[in-house]
Amino acid sequence: MPTQTVVIGVDSSTQSTKAAFTDVATGELLAVGRAPHQVGGTGGARESDPENWWRALGEAVAAGLRESGLTPSAIAGIAVAGQQHGLVVLDRAGAPLRPALLWNDTRSAPQAAALTETLGGPAAWTARTGSVPVASMTAAKWQWLRENEPAAAKSAAAVRLPHDFLTERLAGVAVTDPGDASGTCWYSTATGAYDPGLLDLIGLDAALLPPVAATGAARIGSLTPAAAAVLGLPAGITVAAGTGDNMAAAVGLGLGGAGLLDHPVLSLGTSGTVFAATRTRPASTALAGFAATDGTYLPLACTLNCTVAVDKVASLLGLDRDAAEAGGEVVVLPYLDGERTPDLPDASGMVTGLRHTTTRHQILGAAYEGAVVTVLRALDEVLRACGLDPAAPETAGRPLRLVGGGAEGRHWVETVRRLSGRPLLIPQSTELVALGAAALAAGAATGEDPVALAAGWQREGARQLPPVQRDIGTWDRVSAVLDRAAPALLSR
């Protein structure tokens, strides 16, 4: 290892870029530079200009250097973790042909349904890719582009995921990793390679896609002089392959082959996400059966409506987000932007069970409950994909790692405890995606296992909350409404 001991882990999310300057030896977070993104679109459209991500990366790195007081020569490597599934189409000069279609753009729902049927149904897809196409998956977005903007699809000289686009700008090398590639629905988790039959199905030439590195910690090149000039960093430092944001969060938590396996995680952010690292290849039609970036697997379920949806309900009611009470008889399904798990892309919010005695505070509490029951039902599917029985005492007693912005909210934490009945672990680090990316950069620079590195960085522990008695009454009430409502929502 050279005398330089600092790496930069980049979290390029839907809303912003964060650049985490991390000490390789200790995992100490020396600084986090931040810069916002712009997201446009109305209705189901969600788009961003990839050039804005590149500008934001430069701004975030510059802010991190100022905050840390480090000299650029202290930096040994960099890796990018990016929002999954986004479709980036480039011309021959590497410039975007149009704004990127983001993961939460639901316009491609009809294409996802058609692709599922064409291949023979959900089971046929999970057997090959581990996942069933939904609106978020990149294959559905490519199909939407072919049908709605055929000139752009025909002109594409390269097709990239968001993290691929940024990594290529850094190193001048086209590359992706198994984790992020597994979210496209054109990469097979069964073979560990692009699936030629699926590429033919969607009319995508494999030559437009980047090669797949062995892992996200693979050293794929060095920072180019042009990128170094933009970022204010030394040319020649290590660039790792990087990965998708969920895969990086798993690394940041020390989950994977060199760390913990089959331990569930619930991330409360704009979306609500549940996942676990496992050696069992997922084959559930109810989940995204992703590959992890280290050779294990990452069964995952994502709900579109989480903290932002509950905040919107609080705003409509004129309440602070923590001014909530248990919902009582009222049930709220806060599916304000459609839903992904369950797959209800055209759903809208639903309120039922109102009485004269119902208060605003109970309605807000019911929105929390609707979001949490939705994501915890998905968690049961994740555990089954790991080969575990969710109801078994040894599984039910396994701590649930609670991360994301919602993990800092009192009512979020209380609602998850009450409806899960599980012990909770809340890690001290709040920048797990960037921390995981930093571990990938450190692994590429040093040759060490990034999961083991990150597990050592987490040695300061987490806040531990013991289980409370599970609120089965609320669970059953919300689940019954969801089960009754789902067929009607699907038929819209």
Q: Which of 28, 35, 40 is nearest to 58 (CA)?
A: 35
pLDDT surpasses 80 at 4: no
Domains of the chain, by residue range, sit at 6-246
> Which amino acid is residue 6, in one-letter code?
V
End-to-end CA distance of the chain: 58
What does the pLDDT look like over 243-255, one tens digit per residue?
A: 999 999 999 999 9
C-alpha R_g of the chain: 22
Q: Are the beta carbons of 284 and 278 closer than 8 angstroms? A: no
Q: What is the pLDDT of residue 460?
A: 63
pTM of the model: 0.91
| Confidence band of 363 (pLDDT split at 50, 70, 90) | very high
316 contacts: CB under 8 Å, gap ≥ 6:
none
Catalytic: 245? Answer: yes
CATH of domain 6-246: 3.30.420.40
pLDDT surpasses 80 at 486: no
pLDDT surpasses 50 at 47: yes
Q: What is the pLDDT of residue 346?
A: 85
| Confidence band of 151 (pLDDT split at 50, 70, 90) | very high
* pLDDT above 90: percentage of residues in the chain: 89
What does the pLDDT look like over 437-448, one tens digit per residue?
A: 999 999 999 999
Give the C-alpha separation, 389 to 137, whole Å.
Answer: 28
What does the pLDDT look like over 204-214, one tens digit per residue?
A: 999 999 999 99
Q: Which residue has the tokens 């500008």?
A: 55
What secondary structure letter does DSSP report for 398?
S
Q: Which of 99, 140, 101 is nearest to 119 (CA)?
A: 140
pLDDT surpasses 80 at 462: yes
What does the pLDDT look like over 65-80, one tens digit per residue?
A: 999 999 999 999 999 9
Q: Are the beta carbons of 36 and 56 closer than 8 angstroms? A: yes
What does the pLDDT look like over 323-337, one tens digit per residue?
A: 999 989 999 999 998
Q: Are the beta carbons of 403 and 268 closer than 8 angstroms? A: yes
Polymer length in residues for the chain: 492
Instruction: Give the largest CA-CA distance in the chain.
Output: 69
Q: Which residue has the tokens 């994301």?
A: 404
| Confidence band of 381 (pLDDT split at 50, 70, 90) | very high
pLDDT surpasses 70 at 16: yes
Active-site position among 195, 245, 449, 471: 245
Three-class secondary structure of residue 31 per DSSP: strand
Alpha-carbon torsion, ordered 455, 458, 459, 460, to 10 deg: 180
Give the C-alpha separation, 46 to 63, whole Å.
Answer: 27
